[in-house]
Amino acid sequence: MALHLQRTTNATRERVHRIGKETPGKTRPIVAKFHHYSDRELVRIASLEKNPDLRALHQGVGIQQTKATLEKRRNKQHIVDRERNAGRTTKWAGSRLLVKGQNCGYHELNN
């Protein structure tokens, strides 16, 4: 994995593999299935702390979403673009699109 973590615990992984065909000059994504949710969260949170370093390398750590969730997100992408162009902060919670309101809380946006 491109993310270097200190080995304070032994994270139990069930499977780790790369996706796609090997292409010169390109890096293939790595998929890892962790045995324990806490191990996955340890890796995910460590990646957030190293986010600027990973972005500079055009890498990142994400949680794999279902095809249905990805399709719902694609259908709402125009809303994300509109809200971000208006200067609002958005984030995804599964297939739900959340926008930061004036009271610093997030609310779901459907249209």
Same domain, 39 and 1: yes
- Per residue in 13-48, pLDDT (tens digit) is 888 889 899 999 888 888 888 888 888 888 888 888
Same domain, 41 and 74: no
Same domain, 6 and 44: yes
Q: What is the mean pLDDT of residues 90-109?
A: 87
Same domain, 54 and 26: yes
- Per residue in 41-86, pLDDT (tens digit) is 888 888 888 878 887 887 888 888 899 999 999 999 999 999 999 9
Print the SS3 string covering the chain. CCCCCCCCCCCCEEEEEECCCCCCCCCCCEEEEECCHHHHHHHHHHHHHCHHHHHHCCCCCCCCCCHHHHHHHHHCHHHHHHHHHCCCCEEEECCEEEEECCCCCEEECCC
Same domain, 43 and 19: yes
Tell me the whole-structure pTM to 2 decimals.
0.59
Same domain, 54 and 71: no
Report how many domains make up the chain.
2
